[in-house]
Structure 1
Amino acid sequence: MLVAVRCGAGLLAVVSVAATVRTGPAERPVALAFGLLVALGEVTRWRGPQLREPAPLGAAGALAYALLGEVSGQPTHHGPAQVVTVVSVASLLGGVPHIARGTSPTLDHLARRVLTAGFAAVCFQPLYNRGALDTWVGPAYALLLVALLALTALWDAVLAAALAHARTRWPFAPLLRDELRALAGIGSAVCATGAVMALAVAVAGLWALPVFCVPLLLTQASFRRYAAVRATYRQTIASLARATEIAGYTPAGHARRVAALSLAVGRDLGLAEAELTVLEYAALMHDIGQLSLVDPVPAGATAGLPGEEQRRIALLGGAVVRQTGVDRRVAAVVERQADPFPEQPRAARIVRVVNAWEEKARDAGPGGALAALEELRLGAAGDYAPDVVEALARVLARGGLTFPPTG
């Protein structure tokens, strides 16, 4: 899938550039203006966990050019090939500063940009150039652009989910669900700005472009600040989780390893992003109840303790988490991680299974990972959720059955 998408985008770009060079670009000032807009969007691109579209200004500019039919009341004559050419060249030029800094855009990002712009242009430009949309005026024309943008956004979400599935082998359906949910955030702002730009340029000309760039740039800055706050929040939780390691109650890196593996298992089981966030925080803080113990558990291995003692430590941990002001759902997962699995929320089941596997495999040598997994399978009927154990097995099989590092 990855190779097919990348090769398809590359082939589309090459063919489009060749066709545009052969016929000559139409409305060169317009093409240059939108090319600069897309390039500026790529220059200001960024990466953040809360923003799936790293270059919203570039995306909006590409969509606006793909759906552009008039400039200052005069019809345009560029076709899908020129749209793909302008977007491809501008995206590559906008990526030059990032390449110089060693943070070049990924091939998947560029492929999605080219294929999405091409999809929108193919849906709109042939119909407009043949005069099929001449009777669509006023609100009807605006609604048509919105409908085409919604269809393009759906195509982009499917493409993004397919690429993520090919890279990670995570289930496609949850990935697509998360992509569609993300459209309610920056995705809706990108689509709305693209539609408004196309309509505004049709009436007011190219002067409308800088005017409608400002709101999207402000939105991008807001998302960036929000992502920075979330990153700081996660770092705070990670620091709290390290308290058990610093105090000598748990081995170094244990919480981090359990959190990383829990996230992989959660993705395999199809958890939504909001659930994954709760799962990660709970996995990081799952051992914090040990700070209330007078005598540390040897190596912090709570999986081998009697059930009542495990539940007592879990309840202590939940109480500590509630005092920190972290989301109540995180505290609920922490305090219920030792309950019988039929009564546990799904996140608590995952934390319990992953924690037990990590403890059993940690010091057992190269063959300990397989032995620990088989031990969990034998205990799945009473102590561990069978579906979580099998999800853990799939994750380990994809990543290789190696025992986790102790440092």
Structure 2
Amino acid sequence: MTVRRSHVALHSAAALLVGVSLGATFLTGVEDRPVALAFGILVAVGELTRPQSGPRLREAAPLGAAGSLSYALVGGHAGHPTQHGVTQVVAVVVAASLLGSVPQLARGQAVLDHLVRRVLAVGFAAACFQPLHNRGVFDAWSGPAFALLLLALLVLTVLCDAVVAAALAHSRTGWPFSPLLRDELRAVPGIGSAVCATGAVMALAVAVVGLWALPVFSVPLLLTQLSLRRYAAVRATYRQTIASLARATEIAGYTPAGHARRVAALSQAVGLDLGLPEPELTVLEYAALMHDIGQLSLVDPVPAGATAGLPAAQQRRIAL
């Protein structure tokens, strides 16, 4: 029940924020429309270039994430201060993210948790920056001090997003929260640092040189995103190969149907309880799937695939 409540609470908070933001933006209009349009296109492109299938990646849309966070922290455009607020930031990011998620929605893929994370992260960053910026609190900040301020806000946002991601995964799978949170935090120095750095650089560059900075600083993350798509395809192929080999013993009649998958699921549950990180959980899953492959060396199948009753020498041969 507690797991379900946390899931409902996060989704309800995101839905409330989206509803208020869209309503306020519709009533007051869009400020700095060229800036909003440029960042909206950037976020949509980032979502469109996400891997459409394959295993889940920690951050499958780094370009969209960096563009969203950058828009939440942008305070100027070509030397002129911007006037958009928190509600407009959330409204633009939500609209662009939904537009970029159309291919995934058409395939019936789940994108709700991804959108909830994006809304809450962007709303948090914008709420920390935009009201104070519009009041002129940061006017005295310049140079390295202002850049460090943006980086600090982005790091805090990424850490909060890690907590939300772990809570959503916990509510979705029922796995322990602490190992999930540790996995999310371990990913922050990797792709999370790239997203933070690019988001801060984009916000600073747009304030100085204008919107021309967006395509220039998007290229590195776009290349990274394309690399992530290839990496996801390789991981998917590797996983499919392991699964096919694991079913070989079932098709040949050496083990009961679904035995390897059940052992893998049980092994992952035990690994999560032990607090194993995600890379070790993946290795554990592959090992569990392949644990009976040695039975293919037997002339006749063992009843029910139970090798425990075989002589020790034969067990060693199967293991080898």
Q: What TM-score, normalized by structure 1, do the two folds share?
A: 0.72
Contact 2:66 2:195 in 1 (8 A): yes
Structure 2 Cα separation of the partners of residues 167 and 228 of structure 1: 24
Aligned length: 314
Match of 2:138 in 1: 133
Q: How does 1:378-389 map to 2 (within 5 A)?
A: none
Shift of 1:156: 0.4
Match of 1:53 in 2: 59
Shift of 1:41: 1.9
Give 4+ residue runs of structure 1 displaced > 6 Å after superposition: none
Match of 2:280 in 1: 275
Structure 1 Cα separation of the partners of residues 250 and 24 of structure 2: 62
Residues 304-347 of structure 1: per-residue CA shift (max 9 Å, x gap) = x27x63x852x43543xxxxxxxxxxxxxxxxxxxxxxxxxxxx
The DSSP-based 3-state class of the residue aligned with 1:189 is helix
Contact 2:54 2:236 in 1 (8 A): no
Q: 1:133 to 1:124 in 2, by over 3 A?
A: same
Structure 2 Cα separation of the partners of residues 229 and 102 of structure 1: 21
Q: How does 1:346-385 map to 2 (within 5 A)?
A: none
Q: 1:228 to 1:96 in 2, by over 3 A?
A: closer
2:244 to 215, 239, 242: 239
Match of 2:76 in 1: 70
1:4 aligns with 2:5: no
Contact 2:254 2:295 in 1 (8 A): yes
Residues 328-377 of structure 1: per-residue CA shift (max 9 Å, x gap) = xxxxxxxxxxxxxxxxxxxxxxxxxxxxxxxxxxxxxxxxxxxxxxxxxx
Match of 1:98 in 2: 104
Shift of 1:269: 3.5
Larger radius of gyration between Structure 1 and Structure 2: 1
1:203 aligns with 2:208: yes
> In angstroms, what is the RMSD of aligned CA positions?
2.1
Shift of 1:50: 5.6
Match of 2:190 in 1: 185
Residues 156-185 of structure 1: per-residue CA shift (max 9 Å, x gap) = 000000111112211101000111112233
Moved more, 231-240 or 33-42: 231-240
Q: Which runs of no fewer than 5 residues in structure 2 stay unpaired?
A: 1-5
Contact 1:48 1:54 in 2 (8 A): no
Q: 1:229 to 1:95 in 2, by over 3 A?
A: closer
Residues 11-62 of structure 1: per-residue CA shift (max 9 Å, x gap) = 1111122222333221111111111211222222235436222322221111
Structure 2 Cα separation of the partners of residues 54 and 43 of structure 1: 11
Contact 1:96 1:104 in 2 (8 A): no
Contact 2:255 2:305 in 1 (8 A): yes
The DSSP-based 3-state class of the residue aligned with 1:77 is coil
**More RCO (CA 8 Å, sep 6+):** 2
Given residue 240 of structure 1, which amino acid in structure 2 is its aligned partner?
L
Q: 1:23 to 1:238 in 2, by over 3 A?
A: closer
Structure 1 Cα separation of the partners of residues 294 and 268 of structure 2: 21
Structure 2 Cα separation of the partners of residues 214 and 111 of structure 1: 26
Structure 2 Cα separation of the partners of residues 48 and 276 of structure 1: 17
2:227 to 211, 222, 232: 222
Structure 2 Cα separation of the partners of residues 211 and 234 of structure 1: 36
Structure 2 Cα separation of the partners of residues 261 and 122 of structure 1: 43
Q: How does 1:256-405 map to 2 (within 5 A)?
A: 256-303=261-308, 305=309, 309=312, 313=315, 315-319=316-320
Match of 1:88 in 2: 94
Given residue 141 of structure 1, which amino acid in structure 2 is its aligned partner?
F
2:25 to 7, 10, 20: 20
Q: 1:65 to 1:179 in 2, by over 3 A?
A: same
Percent of pairs identical after alignment?
73
Shift of 1:105: 4.7
Given residue 51 of structure 1, which amino acid in structure 2 is its aligned partner?
L
Match of 1:399 in 2: none
Q: 1:29 to 1:104 in 2, by over 3 A?
A: farther
The DSSP-based 3-state class of the residue aligned with 1:242 is helix
